[in-house]
Amino acid sequence: MSKTVTDNTLQAIISHAKEYGFVFPSSEIYDGLSAVYDYGPYGAQLKKNIRDDWWKSMTQMNENIVGIDAAIFMHPTTWKASGHVDSFSDPLIDNKDSKKRYRVDHLIEAHADKLMEEAAKDNDGGATLRDRAKQLIADMEVLLANDDFAGLGTLIQTNKIQCSVSGTSNWTEIRQFNLMFSTELGSVAEDANTIYLRPETAQGIFVNFLNVQKTARMKIPFGIAQTGKAFRNEIVARQFIFRMREFEQMEMQFFVKPGTQKEWYEHWKNERMNWHLSLGIAANKYRFHDHIKLAHYADAALDIEYEFPFGFKEVEGIHSRTDYDLTRHQEFSKKKLQYFDTEINQHYVPYVIETSIGLDRMFLLILSNSYEEETIQKEDGTTDSRVVLHLPTKLAPLKLAVLPLTKKDGLPELAKALMDECKPSFHCFYEEKDAIGKRYRRQDAIGTPFCVTIDHQTKEDNTVTIRYRDSMQQERIPMSEVKALILKHIA
């Protein structure tokens, strides 16, 4: 049997995720809510498994990292201190004819993509078009880094960038739009305070720096990890769960002695890439993207990018944030956030290396990397096809499907005994309906790595057929070895 593989497409992944209970549009019966999604039975479990693996890699595998779970709502001054009230915004532009609103960088990037597409079709002028596209992106990056909105406006006009709806270049001025969602705390209007839904989990770590350091008796260098929801009023909803308005982050702030930040930055850059590779994802699907223009508080920053079906995009950020955050919280709270280093007998505000990854984005990465449409050439010359998710075994929502060949002759009883043995150790699924081939295909589609079939021979010699998802190979093994074999693969 040989296999050929057809191309992944984001659309196929979105449909598959919905059909098989991974991701649904939020409140779909009311036509959904833009850039908000719900996770179904298999999606919720896959997401939990990714989160658990990250949590383990941080808080269990590193003796000097502890976890916290801070509230989503924080004192409003937090966001003044962090800089989010003043500068957590995107530049936007509206087309006066269609009234469609664009994020400036998305509008320019889409134009550059169009130039690249034209270049691919044009044998003579291709190189010129490609150069123009590259120059456009380079100019945009410089102007964005300098908050030069007039320059960005000119760039859009001189490149004759048009609205995809009206087809015109009749643009408004560029304006800044704050991405934080706000709400009121308190029921009496006069007393109500505006508070924000956190746009990142990191600030919950910074404001708890001393609480954690003292209660967990941490010595620098040490880290604080947290996973949880974050909210951003993204103007342009794009690419499924890649850019959402409500999403989850997995962040770790690593507190170090000033002057040692460069070596810790390198350390976490490598550690984080190793985590990605530990999931069995090919190294050539990843790349580092160093930030050229740094935020005023950072002395180094990079993105870990993955090749999604729509190109290389950021999945995780590594930032060397100096002592900016703790110093700002000291200023605004008037409370000291310093560490006493007994080795040098000195107080100082620690420097911070941050690793920040979007859980939903990582989920999309895992789905994109796993999704495959296969055409199978059978030995008798006929072909068959299947859609399979090659999920890493430790992340798969279900590890084992137990399938009695028939509903009678005592086979379901044997199958249920195997279920009872394995259930406490990992997620199992029992099914006796439909032909065995059809049951295998359903498990392939949700990424279950192992199926075990109980047949009449099982009654005689206590052996079962185990079938491997990726190779579709089958072998006969004693039923008593199933649990240990699967546990070995999960580990």
* Pair 36, 238: CB distance under 8 Å: no
Contacts with 308 (C-beta within 8 Å, 6 or more apart), sequence order = 10, 239, 242, 364, 365, 368
Binding of ligand GAP by 325 (CB under 6 A): no
Q: Give the shortest CB-407-to-ligand GAP separation in angstroms.
A: 45
Q: Give the shortest CB-356-to-ligand GAP separation in angstroms.
A: 4
Out of 53, 90, 360, 455, the residue judged to bind ligand GAP by CB under 6 A = 360
Contacts with 150 (C-beta within 8 Å, 6 or more apart), sequence order = none
Q: Give the shortest CB-201-to-ligand GAP separation in angstroms.
A: 7
Secondary structure E strands in 359-446: 371-377, 383-389, 400-404, 428-430
Binding of ligand GAP by 357 (CB under 6 A): yes
x/- letters, 301..320, toward ligand GAP (CB under 6 A): -------------xxxx---
Binding of ligand GAP by 364 (CB under 6 A): no
Tokens of 122: 């044009």
Q: Is the CB of 49 or the CB of 253 nearer to ligand GAP? A: 253
Query: In the range 246-285, which residues lie near ligand GAP by CB under 6 A?
Result: 247, 249, 251
x/- letters, 216..235, toward ligand GAP (CB under 6 A): ----------------x-x-
Residue 172 DSSP class = -
Query: What SS3 state is found at 73?
Result: strand
Rounded Cα–Cα distance for residues 328 and 320 (Å): 16
Q: Give the shortest CB-205-to-ligand GAP separation in angstroms.
A: 9
Q: Is the CB of 21 or the CB of 83 nearer to ligand GAP? A: 83
* Nearest CA among 352, 51, 361 for reference residue 226: 51
* Nearest CA among 426, 475, 37, 88 for reference residue 247: 37
Q: Is the CB of 140 or the CB of 250 nearer to ligand GAP? A: 250
Q: Where are the alpha helices (DSSP H) in 250-350?
A: 261-278, 324-333
Out of 243, 328, 399, 483, the residue judged to bind ligand GAP by CB under 6 A = 243
Binding of ligand GAP by 239 (CB under 6 A): no
Q: Is the CB of 199 or the CB of 447 nearer to ligand GAP? A: 199
Binding of ligand GAP by 328 (CB under 6 A): no
Q: Is the CB of 205 or the CB of 422 nearer to ligand GAP? A: 205
Rounded Cα–Cα distance for residues 12 and 5 (Å): 14
SS3 content of the chain, % helix, strand, coil (to 5): 40, 30, 35
Q: Is the CB of 152 or the CB of 357 nearer to ligand GAP? A: 357
Q: In Å, how far from its chain's centre is CA 470?
A: 24
Q: Give the shortest CB-442-to-ligand GAP separation in angstroms.
A: 30
Q: How many CB atoms lie within 10 A of CB 472?
A: 16
Binding of ligand GAP by 356 (CB under 6 A): yes
Which one of the spans 99-107, 156-164, 334-342, 355-363 is the region binding ligand GAP (CB under 6 A)?
A: 355-363
Q: Give the shortest CB-184-to-ligand GAP separation in angstroms.
A: 24
Q: Is the CB of 240 or the CB of 429 nearer to ligand GAP? A: 240
Binding of ligand GAP by 202 (CB under 6 A): yes
Dihedral angle over CA of 16, 17, 19, 23, nearest 10: -160
Phi, psi of 214 (to 5 degrees): -75, -45
x/- letters, 149..188, toward ligand GAP (CB under 6 A): ----------------------------------------
Which one of the spans 36-44, 245-253, 294-302, 435-443 is the region binding ligand GAP (CB under 6 A)?
A: 245-253
Residue 466 DSSP class = E
* Nearest CA among 445, 431, 437 for reference residue 389: 445
C-alpha dist (Å) from residue 275 to 49, 115, 261, 364: 14, 36, 21, 16
Judging by DSSP bridges, how do beta strands 311-320 and 300-308 pair with one another? antiparallel
Contacts with 60 (C-beta within 8 Å, 6 or more apart), sequence order = none
Size of the site for ligand GAP (CB under 6 A): 19
Binding of ligand GAP by 244 (CB under 6 A): yes
Rounded Cα–Cα distance for residues 131 and 125 (Å): 10
Tokens of 380: 């008798």
> Minimal CB distance to ligand GAP: which residue?
358
Query: In the range 100-159, which residues lie near ligand GAP by CB under 6 A?
Result: none
Q: Give the shortest CB-242-to-ligand GAP separation in angstroms.
A: 6
Query: Which residues lie near ligand GAP (CB under 6 A)?
Result: 200, 202, 232, 234, 243-244, 247, 249, 251, 314-317, 354, 356-358, 360-361
